[in-house]
Amino acid sequence: MENPEVTVSSCSAHDDENLCSYKRHLSVSEEGLLEDQLRRKLKFFFMNPCEKFWARGRKPWKLGIQLLKIAMVTIQLVVFGLSNQMVVAFKEDNTVAFKHLFLKGYMDRMDDTYAVYTQADVYDQIFFAINQYLQLPNISVGNHAYEKKGAEETALAVCQQFYKRGTICPGNDTFDIDPEIVTDCVYIEPTMPLDNTTVGKHNLNFTLDFHRLVMVQLMFNLKAINLQTVRHHELPDCYDFTLTIVFDNRAHSGRIKISLDNDIAIRECKDWHVSGSIQKNTHYMMIFDAFVILTCLASLILCTRSVVKGIQLQREFVSFFLYYYKKEVSFSDQMEFVNGWYILIMVSDVLTIVGSTLKMEIQAKSLTSYDVCSILLGTSTMLVWLGVIRYLGFFQKYNLLILTLRAALPNVMRFCCCAAMIYLGYCFCGWIVLGPYHVKFRSLNMVSECLFSLINGDDMFATFAKMQQKSYLVWFFSRIYLYSFISLFIYMVLSLFIALITDTYETVKHYQQDGFPETELQRFISQCKDLPNSGRYRLEEESSVSLFCCCNVNIFNGLRECITEVSKQQTLQELDSGAGGKPYT
């Protein structure tokens, strides 16, 4: 039978006199026994699941749950993704349909160029949209309807924004303007017009002063039901579309841009009935989601338990080292007890539990937070698959990637910080100088995307060719700017970045062949030569006394009695003559 774990702690001014006397009178054999047990305990803690099974017969529950969770979470994500795909397709199709319905002469892929240039065209576009709205039930091929508030249908609002006062004479280079914005709206009820009758300027008291006009907005609400989900055994959703047609004249450049914005909200249908087995299929999916939640909850509990045990063992080892060897344990050795993979799995479990709960509410049509649910389930699935790398890391041939990333990460972060300073400098310079002359440099976000594409060798010729040549000085500067950036980042920064990782890879590969440098923790554990299948790790009873717990004299008296009862004379003699009580170097 194996000896139970016994500990002591260092004396301080606040310790009990009997406790300090006990520490002073511990024999070398007893100290060696404590040290040997701590080594064995640490070695067991850092074993892989297979070695732990050989050592104590513990089944790898966490490994089994992780493999089960990967399958379940992936299936759950695929099912939700197919459902969400129908939602996204329905939104996009309706937006395209509204553009063709309410924008006169609209054609696909002309959003950036759709504009009008004459006053007559502005009026024509506005009244075309109004008439299409009034005739919507007769012309739309979809199941669109007006929004109702009570028994009345909501009206369409035609609002114009203009400067409060303004006199502009470009010919004389003079102007007198009050920049305060005034908004004036006209509301049109969605009553059906008579046959062959349309709404025009003669029907509405609506005129535009184009010299002061800033913007015209047509705002109205429509509703629809997504019936395509019925064919996929899902309950349909009800949609609210808040449409805004904008005539943008803020630039007063003679070109009024026209755009249609569709703000979509998904609602729970108030009164619905679907014949067939759709309701039963929904219940099956909710049961599956509940099982996913229970599996993730079990994984969360097991991983939390392992993390807590690791922190407790860390404190125990730090106290042992401080008392026996009068040395502080390094921060890197202390962090070895904090398993980052477990923390990663715990985060994925929390995200999966929250995401699965939202998914169940969506299936029950209590919530419609598709985007939030997508982010939670997508992130959790990514982390679950990343967490599997931990188990591949137990095999030397698969562990090379993990070790390389771990060793290279600090140097990579420092290198990226330095490279980011150069990158941001080029971003600000390109935005302010090339922005007025190049479409890819109009905003800081676009500049960053363009430069990042250039680093990867994408779209180089187009970036050079699209530069306007109105200013020869700016054109010449753009050549110096682009050539220097490409040369600096592709031939120097990117090459150094790759060399940094390659050098780390070669170092790790060399260490795998010749052995890694040992830390104090590893040297301490390496003195325990017990194999996992030696039987020395099997404990018949776990000791209820924790190591280095300075509680009271009764605990340590119990420790002395425990040592007396279970320490056989032969074991003590072996430890006295062996290296058990020798100073650690």
Dump the DSSP string for 86-144.
Answer: HHHHHHHHHHHHHHHHHSTT--TT-TTT-EE-SHHHHHHHHHHHHHHHHTHHHH-SS--
434-459 burial, b if ≥16 CB within 10 A, otherwise e?
A: bbebbebbeeeebbbebbeebeeeee
CB atoms within 10 A of CB 262: 17
The length of the chain in residues reads 585
Each of the 585 residues of the chain gets a pLDDT tens digit; together they read: 344 443 434 444 444 443 344 344 455 566 667 777 787 788 888 777 777 777 777 777 888 888 899 999 999 999 888 888 888 889 899 999 999 999 998 888 777 778 999 999 999 999 999 999 999 988 989 889 998 887 788 899 999 999 988 788 888 878 888 888 999 998 888 875 544 556 665 566 778 888 889 999 999 999 998 888 777 777 788 889 999 999 999 988 899 999 999 998 887 777 766 666 556 667 788 889 999 999 999 999 999 998 998 888 888 888 877 877 777 888 878 888 888 888 999 999 999 999 999 998 888 777 777 888 999 999 999 999 888 787 777 776 777 788 888 888 889 999 999 999 999 999 999 999 999 889 899 999 999 999 999 998 888 888 888 887 778 888 899 999 999 999 999 989 999 999 999 998 888 888 777 767 777 787 787 777 777 777 666 653 344 334 444 333 333 344 444 444 434 444 444 444 444 444 444
- Name every residue whose Cβ is closer than 8 Å to that of residue 76 and which is 6 or more positions away in sequence: 288, 289, 292, 356, 359, 377
Residue 167's φ and ψ, nearest 5 degrees, are: -130, 115
CA gap 85, 229 in Å, rounded: 11
- Name every residue whose Cβ is closer than 8 Å to that of residue 320 and which is 6 or more positions away in sequence: 7, 34, 35, 38, 547, 548
Query: Residue 484: what pLDDT?
Result: 94
- Please report, for residues 236, 290, 426, the alpha-carbon distance to residue 75 in angstroms, rounded to integers and kept in the order given: 22, 14, 45
- Name every residue whose Cβ is closer than 8 Å to that of residue 79 and which is 6 or more positions away in sequence: 285
Q: Which of 220, 292, 314 is nearest to 260 (CA)?
A: 220
pTM (two decimals) = 0.69
Instruction: Let me know the angle formed at the C-alpha of 431 by 427 and 432, rounded to the nearest 5 degrees.
Output: 125
CA 311 distance to own-chain centroid: 27
CA gap 449, 29 in Å, rounded: 68
Tokens representing residue 149 in the block: 């508030």
CA gap 127, 123 in Å, rounded: 6
H, E, C per residue of 250-270: CCCCCCEEEEEEEEEEEECCC
**How many helices and strands (H and E) does the chain possess?**
19, 9
515 residue type, one letter: G
Alpha helices in 254-330 (DSSP H): 278-324
- Please report, for residues 83, 91, 414, the alpha-carbon distance to residue 370 in angstroms, rounded to integers and kept in the order given: 10, 12, 38
